[in-house]
Chains A and B, each alone.
Chain A
Amino acid sequence: MSLNLEDVARIARLARIELSAAERETTRDQLNDILGFIEQLQAVDTTGIEPMAHAVDVVQRLRPDVVTETDRRADFQAVAPETEAGLYLVPRVVE
């Protein structure tokens, strides 16, 4: 499998990354290199091996259902670009 420039443009759009024409070409080559590595991995026979969802073979630790956080809105909003009435303000989004 290899990606063309159109695929790269689409992935960049989904990730909200702006790429120039030159960057698109480098990115295509880099991504295709990565896909090449994956192809090598896929050549390994994994019959009978259970797939892993994580690199370490440990399970999720769980926390008790207790409220431990306090209100730190003032701290967080002190570094926000724009706030009003306790809300974070962002460029208007309309569905």
Chain B
Amino acid sequence: MSRTTQWEVVIGLETHAQLQTKSKIFSGSSIAFGAEPNVQASAVDIALPGVLPVLNREAVVCAIKFGLAVGAKITPRSVFARKNYFYPDLPKGYQISQFEIPVVLGGGLAIRVGAGETATEKFVNLTRAHLEEDAGKSLHEDFHGRTGIDLNRAGTPLLEIVTEPEMRSSAEAVAYAKALHALVQWIGICDGNMQEGSFRCDANVSVRRPGEPLGTRREIKNLNSFRFMQQAIDFEVQWQINEIEEGRAIQQATVLFDPDTGETRSMRTKEDAHDYRYFPDPDLLPLEIRADWIAEVKSGLPELPQAMKARFETDYGLSSYDAETLTTTRAASKFFEDTVAATGKDSAKLCANWVTGELAAHLNKTDMPIEASPVSAAQIAGIIRRIADNTISNKIARDVFEALWAGDGTDADAVIEANGWKQITDTDAIEALVDEVLAANQKSVEEYRAGKEKAFNALVGQAMKATRGKANPQQVTDLLKKKLGG
């Protein structure tokens, strides 16, 4: 590590978010995932002569939503450009993208790097975001020494989101990617499915001595998991440092990460790097976005995670950590607020504990999203109400939760009733019980009187056992103390 510390790492990310539309960006073909090859590829998508692209309004709405969510400038007039290159899965010989005047300019994202007490906040500035079409897919398995082309994906709407080269470690890059991933899902423009390629990142990585100009960068393509992103950047950084320290210059290149070896390897070097010869696409007119359209989209935008987090802290008195956890997804925030709505604001902290604690643990264990939780917000609220009014202890509450999770019973009250789990708060009843326990455990009583503190805990345990956990532990402790002291 001592060698690495003399180097500053510079990372910029380019993310392709597939937009949640029904049809393609320039044609009326479906973009549903998993169809038979080429059945969702129209004359426009496969670039038959004489066809013309027509822009999908919803793709533009998605771009406006994103621009608003990151506080960017929405360009009143943006321009589509042709990015020229040859590859069989790009039937036109060019990709329709945006170059000089993208639809979204600037903006940024607040991120949290690390976890818990040591976490740090950082703001990552965005350069731009632009609309473009996806290419098709090349299948390199052996078709008699030929490559198979599936053009279903060709023309799928993408928003490419580009950051400034401001991240200084793989941890920051991953934190940014996660925050962006959460945001695009939050505002409903991308499903975030990384396995299906709906959210893919390219990382531009370089190293330099602090204070020096930017080093030559290499671009790691198509990182489709946060873990791979971390591994790929860490490997790449170490590789570049070694090269420079051994006197070799870095060549600008595009590299791929191989998850099997954990290494990055060069795809193409600058020598034959693409010269895309961008120019405005004569088939498409400038995209005009007027202020009233932006205002209309803005009015339909959900409360953003940052604002909601702040509201949770002030309105419900939650810790920054709890507020952060509960605003990771819209589903989680809704579940929490539904729970609070049913219990009342006074129990908000308890609701947060249950949603981020017991519920989250069960969901994690079964790898289930909160939307699919077998225990509803209303059911958890039912449990919390019975904790708040002392009907059950925390320990019994967990048993009630287990029962509801397993589908035994419709609500907390029914489960408590069916199992006879009502906490005994009647002082006379507990006193009688404590007397019984003292009488039956003379040995422990004597040991306690002889100064053995441990014996007291044994007596509490005996009393709780006698009530099968239904007695209020504090009451039992107080009573025992009183009786033994007297």
Contacts and interface: CB of A to CB of B under 8 A. Distances in A.
Chains A and B belong together in one complex: yes
Interface of A: 14-16, 53-56, 58-69, 71-73, 76-77, 82, 84-95
Given A54-B280, A73-B41, A85-B37, A90 B57 contact: no
B39 A86 contact: yes
A34 B310 CA distance: 60
B22 A88 contact: no
B138 interface: yes
B23 A67 contact: yes
A69 B28 contact: yes
Given A59-B285, A85-B148, A76 B38 contact: yes
Contacts of A77: 38
B352 interface: no
Given A53-B286, A62-B56, A86 B46 contact: no
Nearest to B280: A53
Interface string B274-297: 010100101011111000000000
A89 B287 contact: no
A65 B285 contact: no
Given A53-B79, A59-B287, A65 B58 contact: yes
Given A69-B27, A73-B39, 20 more contacts: A16-B86, A53-B79, A54-B282, A63-B54, A63-B55, A64-B57, A67-B22, A67-B30, A69-B30, A73-B38, A76-B41, A82-B146, A84-B143, A87-B143, A87-B149, A88-B88, A88-B148, A90-B88, A92-B146, A93-B138
Contacts of A53: 77, 79, 101, 280, 286
B88 A93 contact: yes
A93 B55 contact: no
A72 B41 CA distance: 8
Nearest to B58: A65
A92 B141 CA distance: 10
Nearest to A89: B146
A18 to B, nearest CB: 14
Interface string B105-117: 0000000000000
A94 B140 contact: yes
Contact of B60 (A62, A85, A91): A62
Q: Enumerate the 5 nearest inter-chain pairs by beta-carbon distance, A residue then B residue, closest first.
A: A68-B28, A87-B148, A65-B58, A86-B37, A59-B288
B42 interface: yes
B interface residue count range (under 10 / 10 to 19 / 20 to 34 / 35 or more):
35 or more
Interface string B1-45: 000000000000000000001110001111000001111111100
Interface centre among B37, B38, B58, B60 (most CB of A within 10 A): B38
A86 B280 contact: no
B383 interface: no
B147 A91 contact: yes
B147 A92 contact: yes
Interface in B41-78: 41-43, 46, 48, 54-60, 77
Nearest to A58: B285
Interface in B227-271: 256, 267-268
B158 to A, nearest CB: 15
Contacts of B48: 76
Nearest to B23: A67
A90 B147 CA distance: 5
Nearest to A76: B46
Contacts of A16: 86
Contacts of A89: 143-144, 146-149
A67 B23 CA distance: 5
Contacts of A90: 88, 146-147, 149
A49 to B, nearest CB: 15
B456 to A, nearest CB: 70
Contact of A69 (B29, B55, B79, B143): B29
A95 to B, nearest CB: 6
B146 A91 contact: yes
Contact of B147 (A65, A67, A68, A93): A93
Q: Which of A14, A59, A77, A88 has the most chain B CB atoms closer than 10 A to its own CB?
A: A88
A65 B55 CA distance: 9
A66 B140 CA distance: 33
Contacts of B42: 69, 72
A29 to B, nearest CB: 21
Nearest to A75: B43
A85 to B, nearest CB: 7
